[in-house]
Chain A
Amino acid sequence: MLAYVVRRLLHAVLVVVGVATVVFCLARLSGDPAKLLLPPDATLEQLAVLRAQLGLDRPVWVQYADYMASLARLDLGESLYFEAPVWELIVERLPATLFLGGAALLIALAVAVPAGLLAATRRGSFVEGIVQIGVLIGQSTPPFWVGIVLILIFSVNLGMFPTGGMSGYASLVLPAVTLAFYLMAMMARLLRSSMLDVLHEDYIRSARAKGASGVAVITRHAMRNAMIPTVTVLGLEIGGLFGGAVVTENVFAWPGVGSLIVEAINNRDYPLAQGIVVVLAVIFVLVNLLVDLFYSVLDPRVAYQ
């Protein structure tokens, strides 16, 4: 098991290096940050001076080598736009996004698990129909629309929650629900279909034949097996949560890393944009590693060497 974890961690490092390289190239294809740091009537001489100051006039491969070396030292550089260390900027804003994502995950689970179970166990019923429609709506509605509609209904008209910003648990509800919308629909659908598959298995029939109650059949025998595909997708969807956070943070003025990366891209702030993507890549890789390890807990047949 330990050997497996170590191998996976080494793979993770390779993945992060690959991500950093891709981001480095993409950022430099998108435009010149020096031009955006100057006033619109700047002269070309001023531009040349600034580029030299920022080290942007060096050959690309020199900038790349420099960047990789600083990553190895765990140094993410300094933001061109904010003139502050990238790491500090990320650490300031990352908790807000992580816990928005955590809340969204909880809400999604709290809704999707019962919904998926009900839909699977009460086939052909009204409840299943509701869940199916809910899933369709959830998977096809864009988050920025969901967010604005929730704001209009619950903030402006009912006055139950603030319209945005981060200022206490009340302000967390609407953004978390918005972010959870797609995830809960997808997970409910996935859980329902894997549950349906499992309920047709022989061991379920044996359990019922032995006299196990309906509840015990589901919780003791069926759930764990049905959860396996769901958990797999969940790990991958963490990336989707980060992506969704970008839109949700914009709609709700939530001061997290999603809105920070949008600003970084608009300002062509290479170091900041690169730094955020690298940090998110590390989180994504670690989460998926945990998910894979969690398998061996869910399914004892799976063992890692």
Chain B
Amino acid sequence: MTRRSGVWGAALAVLTALLATACMPTPAEPRGDDGTGLTISQPVDVSTLDPQKQGTMTDMSVLINIFDTLTTRDDNGELVGGLATEWVAVDDLTWRFTLREGVTFHNGEPFDADSVVFSVQRILDPATRSPIGELSLVEEVRAVDAHTVDFVMKEPDPILPEKLALFGGVMLPPEYARAEGDAFASSPVGTGPYEFVEWQRGDRVVLEANPDYWGGAPQVQRLVFRKIPNAADAMAAARTGEVDIVSGLSPDAAAQLEGSTEVEVVAVPGIRTFSVSLNAEVEGPLADPRVRQALNHAVDVPALIDSVLGGYAQQVATLLPKQSDAHDPSIQPYAHDPERARQLLAEAGYAGGFPIALSAENQYATVVQAIAGQLAEVGVQVQVNLMDAGTFETRSLEQDAGDLDPMFFYGTTPWTLAGWSSFAGYVPNSATKSRFDNAEADRLFQVVESSLDPAQRQQAAAQLQALLKEEAPFIFLWQADHIYAMNPAVDWKPGPIGLLRMNTATTRS
């Protein structure tokens, strides 16, 4: 009796474990490469496939293949037509867009002015809870005829066409979206070069080529976007050929792959610009512009880029990356000059240096500590406070980023490539995270934001960059490269914004 029950008990346990194992869910589609497909990995999962409810690079990289925008940037970074062919400012508050004809959505619905009106209204509708902020100045959008649309603004917005190259300008099919409701987020339909096939949460998104794409059918038939959170695993997958393109690599990870024959490391200048924000508004050493200039002289940016970032970045003079429309190439970055730094500190009354705290995200630990080391050489003792990204974000979204230290290290991406994007979050006194109070800067920013005369905006932006260099409310650092590990048989030119737009990719097989 006892022996049998013992055996039965053990058998039961083993059987349960076996059953649990046998019920493994397997994906319906065969995986990855069958010669006509590309597998691309990203470190983070897709959160939604509704282009108007997301704001992350990961989501946008997938969705940019399914959806088109009214305007777009070409390979040289020039603003060109997408689903719109022409645009003109009819008056100070109205932009008129002429739409491309003969375009249909993947489900057959025609693309016309109604689609534009529907899509824009959906973003502006509070019920959508869209995190996309680019259309905040749009008062109303009207169809003039089947292929012409007017955007009426609340205030003059000279860069509305640039903003519509981003996800504010994504076009959705009205009938289908209304019918699907919330389910649209898991079965999207757009006008783009790829159609949605399936999404296995936490694992992969599969797309198939749209043979009727208005921009020409893509050569690669199938795209599989996989989530691989661990960089070592992603690189291993690239080496075995399970993944063709690994995106989001850090310089450290890329260094491990240098010299590999199985995988090519491709680095492209990006637009994400890094700086250290200095709190110029509170009493203390940072309130004196000479101190701030000294900090800029103390940091050796080219050395940092070479040693800590493996060369995968480029120095910037102020806040604008070189690809920005408003970038002024005549402004030179601060020279590394510790002598001058000590001199300026002495003039300001800090000959012996001073202690100060700096906040940064954990992932930037190495580079921030290198910066602290360079500042220590001129007597500035920096206490580095590292925290995880979520905590950093949370603390920065306070008035004057008040919950962060007097110095904080951050990166920002000027999505529209217009000068406004680089200044808006951090320069004008009214911006939440701005710790800089300068009437001339505010005035120049106003011109950049609202003047409809491109020459006037350009001049104001140039003057603002010169002012920023002089006043130095930031330690100006660099713009980071986008680093990819690629299968050598893949021919794909990544863009500066860093989105995984694949319609021009080809495979040499």
Residue ranges of A at the interface with B (Cβ–Cβ < 8 Å): 30-32, 35-44, 46-47, 50, 53, 81-84, 89, 92-93, 95-96, 98-99, 101-103, 105-106, 109, 144, 147-148, 151-152, 155-156, 159, 162-169, 172, 220, 224, 250-253, 255-256, 259-260, 262-263, 265-268, 294, 297-298, 300
Contact = CB atoms under 8 A, between A and B. Distances in A.
Nearest to A257: B202
A77 to B, nearest CB: 16
B24 A156 contact: no
Contacts of A47: 397
Contacts of A159: 240
B378 to A, nearest CB: 31
Contacts of A105: 17
Interface stretch (B1-9, B291-299, B366-374): B1-9
A79 to B, nearest CB: 9
Given A39-B133, A253-B228, A255-B200, A82 B236 contact: no
A81 B203 CA distance: 17
A156 B131 contact: no
A101 B24 CA distance: 11
B431 interface: yes
Given A35-B393, A163-B242, A259-B202, A102 B17 contact: yes
Contacts of B399: 44
Centre residue among A37, A99, A266, A268 by max chain B CB count within 10 A: A99
Interface string B145-161: 00000000000000000
Interface stretch (B47-55, B80-88, B305-313, B445-453): B47-55
Centre residue among B9, B242, B396, B425 by max chain A CB count within 10 A: B9
A47 B229 CA distance: 29
Contacts of A36: 390, 393-394
Given A40-B425, A98-B20, A167 B233 contact: no
Contacts, number: 177
Nearest to A263: B45
Centre residue among B3, B8, B236, B433 by max chain A CB count within 10 A: B236
Contacts of B394: 31-32, 35-36, 268
B226 interface: yes
Pairs of residues from A and B, 6 with the lowest C-beta to C-beta distance, nearest first: A102-B20, A255-B202, A297-B9, A41-B425, A255-B203, A31-B394
Centre residue among A31, A95, A260, A265 by max chain B CB count within 10 A: A31
Interface stretch (B25-33, B104-112, B247-255, B492-500): B25-33
Interface string B39-51: 0000011011000
B228 A156 contact: no
A172 B21 CA distance: 10
A163 B233 contact: yes
Interface string B123-145: 00000010111000000000000
A106 B48 contact: no
Interface string B377-397: 000000000001111011011
B23 interface: yes
A83 B229 contact: no
Contact of B17 (A41, A106, A152, A252): A106
Given A82-B47, A92-B201, A166-B203, A39 B230 contact: no
B13 interface: yes
B240 A53 contact: no
B412 interface: yes
Contacts of A93: 201-202
B435 to A, nearest CB: 15
B236 A300 contact: no
B201 A164 contact: no
B425 to A, nearest CB: 4
Given A106-B21, A156-B236, A37 B432 contact: no
B342 interface: no
A253 B238 CA distance: 14
A284 B499 CA distance: 42
B131 A106 contact: no
Contact of A41 (B9, B23, B390, B431): B431
B229 A253 contact: yes
Given A36-B390, A151-B236, A156-B239, A250 B229 contact: yes
Given A40-B425, A106-B18, A298-B9, A251 B131 contact: no
Contacts of A156: 236, 239-240
Nearest to B228: A253
Contacts of B388: 266
A63 B5 CA distance: 49
Contacts of B53: 83
B386 to A, nearest CB: 15
14 contacts: A35-B394, A35-B397, A41-B431, A89-B201, A106-B21, A155-B236, A163-B233, A164-B228, A251-B232, A253-B230, A255-B200, A262-B229, A263-B44, A266-B390
A148 B8 CA distance: 38
Contacts of A81: 47
Contacts of A38: 131, 397
Contacts of B204: 165
Contacts of A250: 229-230
Contacts of A167: 26-27, 31
B68 to A, nearest CB: 22
Interface in B227-279: 227-230, 232-233, 236-237, 239-240, 242
A149 to B, nearest CB: 10
B480 to A, nearest CB: 16
A224 B390 contact: no
Nearest to A171: B31
Contacts of B13: 294
Interface string B477-490: 00000000000000
Contacts of B2: 300
A39 B233 CA distance: 30
Given A165-B203, A165-B226, A297-B9, A267 B397 contact: no
Contacts of B14: 106, 109
Contacts of B132: 39
A251 B432 contact: no
Given A253-B230, A300-B2, A82 B48 contact: yes
A96 B25 contact: yes
B103 interface: no
